[in-house]
Structure 1
Amino acid sequence: MKSPQILILVFLLLSKVVLCQSAPPIKGRVVSENKTPLELVSVALLKQKDSTYINYTITDVTGAFAFLEAPKDSLLLQFSYLGYMSHFEHVSYANKPIDLGEILLKEDTYQLEAVTISAEIPVQIKEDTIAFNANSFKVNSSDNLEMLLKKLPGLEIDSNGKVVAQGNEVTKIYVDGKEFFGGDPAIVLKNLSADAIAKIEVIDKKSDEAELTGVTDGNKQVVINFTLKASKKNQGFGKASAGIGLDSRYFSNFNYNKFSPKTQFSIIGKLNNINITGSNIQGFLENADGIADESDDDDSNITSSKSLSGYLKTGVSGVNFGHEFKEKEVFNADYFYNLSDNRGTSFSKRISFSNTNNFDYEAENTFNKVSKNHNFNFNYKNRSNKTNSLIIRGRLNADDVVQNTSRAGFYYDEDEALQTTNVQEYRNKNTKKALLFNVNYYQKLKKAGRSFSVGFNTNVSKKEKDNTQHTFITRNISSDNLSNSEILALRDEVFNNGQYKFNFKYTEPLGGYHYFKFQSFLKVLNQKEDIYQLKTTVTDDNAEELLVYKYNNREGSYQNRMAYSYSAKKLNVFTGVELQELDRSFGVINQDNFTSSQFYVNPFSTVQYKPKQGVKYRLVYKRIIRSPRTNESSTVINDLNPFFIRRGNPDLKTEKNDDFSLLANIYNYKSSLNFTGTMRYQFSQDAIIPNIVIDDEFVKTRSYINSGDRRRLTTAFNFSKKIKGLGMRYTIKNSSFYDAYTALVNLQLNDVVAKEVLIGLTLENTAKNLMDLKLGTQYSVNNTSFSIEKDLNRTYTKQHYFSSVDYDFTKQLNFNTQFDYFVFSDNQFSTNLHLPIWNMAISYTVKNSSNIVKLVLIDLLDKNVDFERRSTTNYFEETTSESLGRYIILSYTYRLGNRNNNKN
C-alpha cells in the first residue's frame, strides 16, 4: 500500500526542514580535579537566551562527549554528575567545530541528597528508577497527565485505561511520593494538569517488607511518581474550565490543589456530555455496548477492548487530603463520587457454529445504563522507626447501577431463512457495598538481616441484583405455521461475600548475601447466595415456575513456603517451594454439600539480573492452583434467559497452571535507545473449558468440564531510538499471541488454535519545544482455526494509520490536530470497514497566561460509529454501535494560582 509510504516520506521531509541539520561537532572531555576521566556525566545543550533545551548526551569511559547537531546561536552547555557541582560553558556556534578541551568538575562536599537529577536532562536512570524531565516533552495548558504519559518512551495507555511501563502494568501512582486519590491511576491521570509536573519517575518498586529489610522477596511492582514544579508547591493552583458547543454539548472541569511539605489538599469536579470519563474507566466499559446476556463469555480467544459507545453524560466530584505528622509518618484519605449515564443503539451480526445446525444471528439493541459510585479510601503509613513499620489501608465502596436493554434478535438457518424471532426487554438493578481493610506490620530483629512480618486482609461485600426480563418468541414451524410464546421472568439475587487473609513471614540470614525465608498464608473465602426466581409463561395460561434457594460456597487455603533468597546489588534470587492445602465445600443449604480436599506442592522462582545501569533481566516461574469459580461449579441452573442457560459442574477439578515469564529492559541514555521485551508461556493441566450445547431451537446451554491441556504464549517488544542527524526518534512495536485449547460443542471436542501478530512503526521529532510531530501505522492479523468446522477458519486484520501535529505559532497561540484511519477486514464477513477520524483544536492564552480560550473540533468527518469484532468458542460477532460523532465546543479556562516566576 502506497499511502503509508507517502506519509512517511512527507514526515521525513518536514522534519528535515523544521529540525536541526547535521553539523560540525561541539566536543570536549570531562575530568575530575585529579584529572580522572568521568563517565556518565550528563551534558545538556541549551539556548543561552532563555535556557531552552535543545539536546543532551553523556560522556563515555574516557570522559569524552560530542554534539553532532546544533543550531547557529549562542549556546549554553550544562554538565551534571552525582556528587559534583554543576558546571556551565558558554559557546557561540557558527556551524564550525568547537573543541572545549578538558572540562573540570569539582566535588560537591555539601550535597545532601543521594541523587540529583538535572532539570534539563530529558532522561536519567538511578537504581530501579527511570526519571523523565517533563519540560522535555511538549504539553499544552489543557493537557492532563494521561496526555503527558502518552509522550514518554516505553509507556502505553490502552483503551481500558491500563498504564503499561517497562512491560508491566502500573499499579499505583503517587504525587510527590504520596498517594493521590487512593493511587488509582485513572483518577490521577485524568484529573491533574500536566503543566504542573516537573519530573516523572517510573519505579520498579520493591515490596514494603523488602524496602524495610533490604532483602528481596520476589515481589515487584511498577509505580509512577509525579514530582510537582517548585512553583506549584506551597501555594494553591488548579484550573476552572467550561465550554459549550453545537447540539447542546457542554463540559465543565474544576480542580484545585495545594501541596506543602506536610499537607496535601485537592478537590476536583467534572460535568459533561461529550463521552469523557473522570474515574476508573473500567466501570464504564462493563456492558457499555448494552449486550449483557453473553458478556461473560470468558472463553474468547481474541482479547477485544470495549469502548464507550453511544452517548455518555458524566458527573464527578472528589476531595483528597494527606498529612505528614513527621518524617515517614503519613495519613491520606480521599472521597470520590461518580455519576454516568450511557445510552445508545447498536447492531450485532453473529456467525454461530454448533456442528450440526450452524446458524446466523442478528440483533438490534437499545441500551441505557445509569451508574452512581461512591469511594472512600484511607491509608496510614508509619516508617519513622528504622527497625519497624506499620501500614494500614482501607476502602469503603458503594455502587448503584440501573440498566435497561431492548434487543430484537433474529435467527437464520444456513439457507438464510428466518427461523426464530426473539424480542427481549431487560431491566437490571445492581447495588453493591464493600469494605476492604488491610494491616501489615514489619519488624527488624537485632541480628542483621533477621526480620518478620504479620498481616491481615479482609474484603467483605454485599451485592443485590434485581433482574426483570420479558421475552417474546416467534418460531417458524413451517412456512404457514408460526409458534408464539411469551415469558416473564423475575430474579432477585443477594450475594454476601467475605474473604479473610492472614500471613506471617520470617527471614533468617545465612551469611553474606544468603537468606532463608519462611512464609505462611491462610485464606478463607465464604460466599453466600440467596436466590428468588419466578418465571411466568403467558402463552400457557400463565403457568408459573418458582425457584427459591440459598447457596453457600466456602474455600479454605493454607500455604507454607520455604524459600532461599540471594540479595546482591546485581543479582537477586528468590526460589523455593510452597505446600498448599485446599479445602472446598459448596451446595444448596439444607442439602448434602459437595466437599473436596487436596494437597499440592507448588515450586516458584524469581531471578533478576542487572549487569549495569539501565539494563535489567527478570525471569519468573510459578505454579498456580485455580479452583473452579462459583458459577463454574454451581449445582443450580440459571435459566433466567430462555435462550442462554447456565449450568455448573460440581465435579470439576482444580486447574494447575505453570506460568513462565521473561522480561528484559535496556535503556542506553547516551544513544537514547529504549528496549522492553516480554515473553510469557502458560501451560494448564486439567484446564477448565466450556461445554456448550445448542439445540434445534437455538437455545444455548453452557456448563464446564476439565479437558486436557491448554497452552498460551504471548510475546511483545518495544524498541525506540533516535535517528542521528535528523532530530527524530523511531519506535518499533511488536506483539504476538498463541493460544491452543479445546472446547466441547454439542458433545464434540473442538480443538481451537488462535494466533495473532501485531507490528507497528512510529516516527516523531525529538526537539518538541515548538512542534510535536508524530506519524505511524499499526497492522495486526488474527488467524483462528477449528478442528470440527474447518470451513469456518477465520482471518481477521486491522490496519491503523495515524498522524498528529502540535504546533505553537506563538507563545500564546497553539494548534493541534490528529488524524486516524482504520481498515477492518475479515474473511467471515462480506464487507470491510474503513473508518477515518479527524480531530482538531486551537487554543489561545491571554497575556497573563491565566486565561485560555480553546476551540475543539471532534470527529470532523462525522462518522459517529464504533466498531468491534470478536471470536469465542462457537461464534464470530461483529458489532456496530452508534457513537457521539462530530461536535464542536468553544471553551474558556482560568488558571488558579498562576504566577510568573523569576528566571535564574
Structure 2
Amino acid sequence: MNKLLFFFLFITCINYASAQQESQLKGKVVDTLGKAPLYNAVISLLNKKDSTLSKFTRSGKDGSFNLLRLAKGQYIIMITFPKFADYVDVVNIQEPVVDMGAIALTQKATLLKEVVIQSGRAIRIKGDTTEFVADSFTVKEGATVEDLLKQFPGFQVDSKGQITAHGQRVQKVLVDGEEFFGDDPTMATQNIAAKAVDKVQVYDTKTDQQNLTGLGGNNQGKTVNIKLKENSKKGSFGKAFAGSDFQKYHDAKVLYNRFVGKKKVSVYGTKSTVSTGSLNWEDRQKLGLENDLEYDEVGGYYYSIGSGDDFNDWSLRGLADSYTAGALFNNKWNEDKYGINGSYRFNRLSTRNESSTLTQTILSDGLLYRSDSVISNGLNQQHALNGKYEWKLDSLASIKFTTAGIYKTTQGFNHTNSNTQNEMEQYLNKNDQTRENETERKQLDNLFSYKQLFKKKDRQLLLTLRFGLVEDDNNGLLYSKFEKHDGNGNFVSDSITDQQKLFTGNSRTIGTKITYSEPLTSKLSLVVDYGFNNNNSASNRASYNNEGNNKYEILDSLYSNNFNLDASSHSTMAVLKYVGKKTRFAMGSGLSALQLNLKDLYKDKKTNYNFLNLTPQATYSYQLKQQTWFYVNYSGTTRQPSMNQLQPFRDNNDQTNIFIGNPNLKVGFNHRFNTSYSSYKVLTGTNLYVGASYGFTQNDISNSSIIDASGKRTYTPVNVNGNNYWNFWGNWNHGQGEKKLRHYIQLNANGGRNINFINNEKGTNNSANFNINYGIGYDIKDKFNFRIGPSAGYNSSRSSLRKVDNNYFSYGGSANGYVLLPGKIELSSDINANLRQKIDAFDRNTNIIQWNGSISRKVLKDKSGKIIFLANDILNQNKGYNRNIGSTFVTDERYLRVSRYFLLKFEWSFNKMPTGK
C-alpha cells in the first residue's frame, strides 16, 4: 500500500513539473462596436517559424477561449468569424498563463472601408491605405525613416531621397498628419529616427474634392504619413555634423527638434559644397497648397521667367555652394479643436557649370549635327513662408486657411559656343552668344476651405476659396553673333544681336468651388460641384537694341510684345459614387466653359477665345479577397494651349532656334486609362503590385520646324493627332524577417508615339523602354546587411523620316551593404552602375559606375558621437549625363557634377526622449 501511494505521488510530481514547463493562452472574442461576445469563432495557433498549425479551438458562448499545454515560444494567432475581418497577430508565450484579454473583431458590413490585418510583419490594409508597423522591420542602430522605408515591400528610395511607392512617386511626407517644413519631405525622412516611429501609412495623394467624389484627379502620386510613438512626442532630439577634405569640399548641418505632446518646434541650417542643401524633390508651383488642377483651370495661362524650382539636387547642373536655414512650429490644442502649422525656409545656391551637348537632327534627306559648349554661373536666393490654421467649429463643421508666400531672386551668366555640321562633316554655321539675367519673383497663394458634415451619413458640403498674386521682373542682356559658312572654308557674318531684354508681369487669380454630396441609399451617393475662376494678368516683354555706347533705347517691335489677359471659367460636375461590401465605383462628367480675352497693347488689337470642355471620369475597384484588390480608372481631360504658345510672339534668345507663337491653336483632349492589381499574403510576406496605363491626345500640341540652308531653325506650336503613350510597372516581394533572404523583382516599361513636322514633312517616332531588376537582401540587426539588385534594359526608338539606329541596351543596378567589424568599427559601401550601349548618333562612352564607401566608429561615453571617413565616387566616374531621343532629334548632354572626394566627418546626435537610449 505504501509503495502504491509513493508511486501515485511520484507520477503526480512529474505531471506537475511537466505542467510547469507548459503554458496556456486564453482570451475573449468580442464585436468591435457592441462588445458582444462572438460564439463559435475559430482560434488557430500557428508556429511562427514555419506557419504550421499547432492547436486550434472555438470560442464559447461568452466568447472566451483557452488553449492548453503550449510550449514556450512565438506563435501566430488567427481568429476568424463569418462577416468579420480576420484577426492575425504574433503572440510570445513565455509565462505559464498568457491572457490576451478582449480581442475585438471588425465587422465588414459596418466598417466597409477598414479591413485590418495584423501579422508578424504588421502590414495593415485599411481601404486605400497601407499601414506598416515600424518595429516589425529590421534596421540598424541610428537608422532614419529613410532607412526604414527601404525595408518596406514595394518602396524604393534613390540617392537623392526621392521615394517611389507601389510604382508611383511619393509627392508628400507628413508627420502625424501635418506637413513638416512645408513641401520639404526629406526633412522628415532623413532626420527623424526610425525608432521614434510607430506606424507609416501610404495612400493616394488626393484633394478634399477628390476624396469626396471618389475620383482620382491629375495628381498621380502617393502620400506618406509618419506616425510617431506617444513616448517620442515628449522631449527633444537633434543632429549636427561637419565634414571637410580641408581643401575645397565641406558639408555641415545642424537640426534641433522639440516635441511636447502635439506641439512641435524644429530649426535647421546647412552649408555644403557637395549638394544644393535643399530638401525639395520637385517644383511645387502651388508652394505647398493642394495642387488641384481641375480647380485652378486658368492658372496655367500666366507664363513668367524664373518660375521653376532651382533648389533641388535632381535638376542640379554643375558644382554647388549652398546655404539653407529653416524653422517650423506646429501645435494643436483644446482637444484638437484648434491647430496651427507654420514654417520658414531660406535657400542660397550658387552654381558653376561647364557642359557640352551634341544634337543630331533627323531630316528626310540627311542628318545635321549641332555641338554646344556652355560655361555658366548662377546665384539663386529664396525666402519661403508656409502657414495653416484649422478650426473645428463643432463636431460637424471645420474651417481651414492655408497661405504660402515666396520671394526669389536669381542672377545668371551664360556663354555658349555652338556650330552645326551636315553628315559630311561640312560646317553650316557657328554662333557665339552671351546672356546675363537678373530676375525677381514675389508670389502669394491663399486657400480657405469650409467643411460641413451632417447628421445624415455621407451628406457633406465643401466650400473652397482661392486668391493668388504673382509679380515678376526680369532684366537681361543678350549678345549673339551668328555666322554662316560660305562653302569655301570661310564664315560670313549673318547677324549680330545686341539687346537689352526687359520683362514685367503680374497675375491675380480668384477662384471658388463648392462640392455637395447627398446619399441616395446606404451605398449610393450623388456628388455635384460648381467652380468659378478668374485670372487677370499682364505681360510686357520689351527688347531694346544697342544704339552705341551701351545705350539700349531703340525698341525692337519684332521681339517685343505687351499683352493683357482676362481669363474666366465656369465648371460643373456630377458624379455617382457607390461603396459596397467588395465593390466601389464612381462615374460622372464635368463641363466647363472657358473664356479668354487677350489684348495686344502694341497693336491695340483684341482677340477672344471660347473653349467648351467636357471631362468624363470613372473609377472602379473590386476586392477579390482580403488584401487583394483590382482597380481600373478612366479620365478625360482637356489641354488648353498656354498663353506663351497662343501669343504671336517671336523669341530670339537663341539665334539658331527662333520660336514663334501660334494664335490658331485648338484645345486638346486627353484620354487616360489606368489599371492596377495588388495582393498581400500575411504569413509568407509576399506582395504583388502590378499596374498599367495608356493614353492618347486629340489635338495634341507639337512643333513644326523649318530649317534653312544655314542650319537655322524656326519653330512654332501646331496641333497634331496620333500621339499616345503607355506605361507598365510591376513589383514582387517575397520574404520577411531577420536572418532570412528577401527577394524582389521589378519590371518597368513605357513608350509611345510622338508626331511633329520638320520642313513641312511629317515625322513619327515610336519609342519603347523596358527594364527589369532582380534583388536579394539579408539582415542581421546591428551587425550585417546587404542588398544586391542587378538590372537590364532595352531602349528602342524609330523615326519615319529616315532609318537611323538609335536602339541600345543598358545594364547596371545597385548594391549596398553594412558590417560591424571588431572594435565597434562600422564599414558601409554602396555602388550604382549605369552602363549604356553606344548608339550610331554619338559614338561616346556613356558608362558611369559610382562607388561610395565609409568607415566610422562611435565615440563619447554615451556613443552619441561618430567619426566618419567618407569616400565619394571612389572610381571618379560621376559625370553628369543625359540622353534624350525624340522623333526628329537625339541629344547627348554632359555636365559637371561633384565627383571623387574624401571627407573626414564628425557627427553628434542627441535624444532627450523616453526612447532616447
Q: Shorter-chain TM-score: which interval?
A: 0.7 to 0.9
Please say if residues 85 and 108 of structure 1, whose CA atoms lie closer than 8 Å, have aligned partners that are also in contact. Answer: no
- For 1:566, the equivalent position in structure 2 comes to 578
Using the alignment, how far apart are the partners of 1:530 and 1:344 within structure 2? 31
Q: Indicate the residue corresponding to 1:299 in structure 2.
A: none
Judged with a 3 Å threshold, the aligned counterparts in structure 2 of structure 1 residues 210 and 694 are, in CA distance, closer, same or farther, namely closer
* Paired residue secondary structure (2:239): strand
2:697 is aligned with 1:684:
yes
Say if 1:40 and 1:58, in contact at 8 Å, map to a contact too. no
- Aligned-pair CA distance for 1:889: 1.0
CA contact (8 A) 2:339 2:391 kept: yes
Between 161-170 and 641-650, report the one with greater CA deviation: 161-170
Matched, 1:381 2:395: no
TM-aligned CA deviation for residue 383 of structure 1: 3.9
Q: Distance in 2 between matches of 1:74 and 1:895?
A: 39
> For 2:207 and 2:284, how far apart are their aligned partners in 1?
31
Mark the CA change 1:651 to 1:84 in structure 2 (over 3 Å): closer, same or farther.
Answer: closer
- From the superposition, tell whether residues 257 and 549 of structure 1 become closer, same or farther in structure 2 (CA, over 3 Å): same
Is the CA contact 1:371–1:401 (under 8 Å) kept in the aligned structure 2? yes
Change in CA separation of 1:819 and 1:209 when aligned onto 2, cut-off 3 Å: closer
Structure 2 partner of 1:523: 533
Distance 1:39 1:56 in 2: 18
Partner residue in 2 for 1:89? 93
Deviations 1:411-445 (A, max 9, x none): 21221123322122122222211111111111123
- 2:33 corresponding residue in structure 1: none
Q: Which residue of 2 aligns with 1:314?
A: 322
Deviation track 1:253-301 (CA, whole Å, cap 9, x = no partner) reads 111111122311111111111125332143699xxxxxxxxx99xxxxx
Q: Distance in 2 between matches of 1:531 and 1:27?
A: 83
Q: How does 1:603-618 map to 2 (within 5 A)?
A: 603-618=616-631
* 1:106 alignment counterpart: 101
Question: Structure 1, residues 794-851: CA drift from partner, whole Å, max 9, x if none?
Answer: 2133211321111223694321101222211232222343322211012211241211
Q: Partners in 2 of 1:75 and 1:811 — Cα distance?
A: 33
Q: Distance in 1 between matches of 2:700 and 2:448?
A: 35
Aligned to 2:83: none
Query: What is the match of residue 862 of structure 2?
Result: 848
Structure 2 counterpart of 1:170:
170
Q: Secondary structure at the match of 1:181?
A: coil
Is 1:489–1:640's contact at 8 Å kept on the other side of the alignment?
Answer: no
Distance in 1 separating the partners of 2:611 and 2:27: 66
Separation in 2, partners of 1:63, 1:268? 56
8 A Cα contact 1:44 1:120, kept in partner: no
CA distance in 1, matches of 2:670, 2:161: 28
Q: Residue type matched to 2:319 in 1? A: Y
Give the match for residue 511 of structure 1: 521
Q: Secondary structure at the match of 1:649?
A: coil
| Partner SS for 2:240 | strand
* Other structure's SS at 1:247 match: coil
Letter in 1 for 2:369: D
Unaligned regions of 5+ residues in structure 1, if any? 1-25, 46-54, 65-72, 92-99, 286-294, 297-304
- 1:38, CA displacement in angstroms? 5.1
1:146 counterpart SS class: helix
Shift of 1:83: 8.8
Q: Identify the residue that residue 657 of structure 1 maps to in structure 2.
A: 670
Shift of 1:646: 1.0
Q: Counterpart of 2:182 in 1: which secondary structure?
A: helix
Q: Deviations over 1:330-356 (max 9, x none)?
A: 110000111112212122222122444
Q: Whole-Å Cα distance in 2 between the matches of residues 80 and 770 of structure 1?
A: 33
Q: Distance in 2 between matches of 1:456 and 1:254?
A: 38
Q: Which residue of 2 aligns with 1:271?
A: 271
- Matches of residues 423-822 of structure 1 in structure 2 within 5 Å? 423-479=432-488, 481-484=490-493, 485-536=495-546, 546-547=556-557, 548-589=560-601, 591-722=604-735, 727-765=740-778, 767-790=780-803, 792-809=804-821, 812-822=824-834
Alignment partners' CA distance in 1, 2:205 and 2:316: 33
Aligned partners of 2:564 and 2:509: how far apart in 1?
14
Q: Give the counterpart letter for 2:164 in structure 1.
A: V
Q: Give the counterpart of 2:880 among 855, 863, 866.
A: 866
Using a 3 Å threshold, how does the CA distance of structure 1 residues 450 and 227 change in structure 2: closer, same or farther? closer
Q: How far apart, in 1, do the equivalents of 2:131 and 2:50 lie? A: 15
Pair 1:36–1:853, CA change in 2 (3 A): farther
Question: In the superposition, relative to structure 1, how do residues 537 and 810 fare at CA in structure 2: closer, same or farther (>3 Å)?
Answer: farther
* Cα distance in 1 between the residues matched to 2:47 and 2:335: 34
Q: Count matched residues.
A: 830
Aligned-pair CA distance for 1:475: 2.9
Q: Name the SS of the counterpart of 1:632 in structure 2.
A: helix
Q: Which runs of 5+ in 2 are unaligned?
A: 1-21, 30-37, 59-70, 80-85, 107-113, 286-303, 306-312
TM-aligned CA distance change 1:776 to 1:608, over 3 Å: same
* 2:848 is the counterpart of 1:835: yes
What is the deviation of 1:86? 8.0
The C-alpha deviation readout for 1:684-721, integer Å capped at 9, x for no partner, is 11121111111122221111111223221111111111
Give the whole-Å Cα distance in 1 for the aligned partners of 2:26 and 2:656. 76
Give, in whole Å, the separation in 2 of the partners of 1:44 and 1:378: 51
Checking the alignment, whether the CA contact within 8 Å between 2:361 and 2:890 is kept in structure 1 is yes
Structure 1 position 659, deviation (Å): 1.4
Comparing 465-474 with 261-270, greater Cα deviation is found at 465-474
Residue pair 2:706, 2:714 contacting (<8 A) in 1 also: yes
Structure 2 contact 215–586 (Cα < 8 Å) conserved: yes
Kindly provide the CA deviation profile for residues 630-685 of structure 1, in whole angstroms up to 9, marking residues without a partner as x.
12111221223221111111011100111111122222232211122221111211
Q: Larger radius of gyration, structure 1 or 2?
A: 2
Name the TM-score, length of structure 2 as normaliser.
0.82
Distance across 2 between alignment mates of 1:179 and 1:56: 42
Instruction: Assess, with a 3 A threshold, how the Cα gap between structure 1 residues 801 and 450 changes in structure 2: closer, same or farther.
Output: closer
* RMSD over equivalenced CA pairs, Å: 3.9
Letter in 2 for 1:565: K
Deviation at 1:27, TM superposition (A): 14
What residue in structure 1 maps to residue 109 of structure 2?
A: none
State the shift of 1:189 in Å: 3.0
**Residue 142 and residue 465 in structure 1: after superposition, are their counterparts in 2 closer, same or farther (change >3 A)?**
farther
TM-score, normalised to structure 1, is: 0.83
Shift of 1:106: 3.5
Query: Against the structure 1 CA distance between its residues 649 and 232, is the aligned structure 2 distance closer, same or farther, given a 3 Å change threshold?
Result: same
Change (3 A) 1:771 1:84: closer
Question: What amino acid is the match of 1:387?
Answer: L
Taking the aligned partners of 1:107 and 1:811, their CA distance within structure 2 comes to: 48
Distance 1:494 1:80, change over 3 A: farther
- Structure 2 distance, partners of 1:443, 1:59, is 50
How far residue 157 of structure 1 moved from its aligned partner, in angstroms, is: 3.9
Q: CA deviation at 1:454?
A: 1.2
Report the Cα distance in structure 2 between the residues aligned to 1:205 and 1:461, rounded to whole angstroms.
Answer: 26
User: What pairs with 1:267-346 in structure 2 (closer than 5 Å)?
Assistant: 267-275=267-275, 277-282=277-282, 308-328=316-336, 329-346=338-355
> Partner of 2:556: helix, strand, or coil?
strand
User: 1:35, CA displacement in angstroms?
Assistant: 9.1
> Quick one: which amino acid aligns to residue 840 of structure 1?
G
- Deviations 1:378-424 (Å, cap 9, x if unpaired)? 11223463212222111001111222122211221221123322122
Cα distance between partner residues in 1 of 2:743 and 2:864: 36
Counterpart secondary structure, 1:517: strand
Task: Quote the Cα distance in structure 2 between the aligned partners of 1:233 and 1:741.
Answer: 52
Structural mapping, 1:235-254, within 5 Å: 235-254=235-254
Whether the 8 Å contact between 2:185 and 2:279 is mirrored in structure 1 is: no
Task: Find out whether 1:347 has 2:351 as its counterpart.
Answer: no
Please name the residue that 1:95 is paired with. none
Give the counterpart letter for 2:328 in structure 1: N
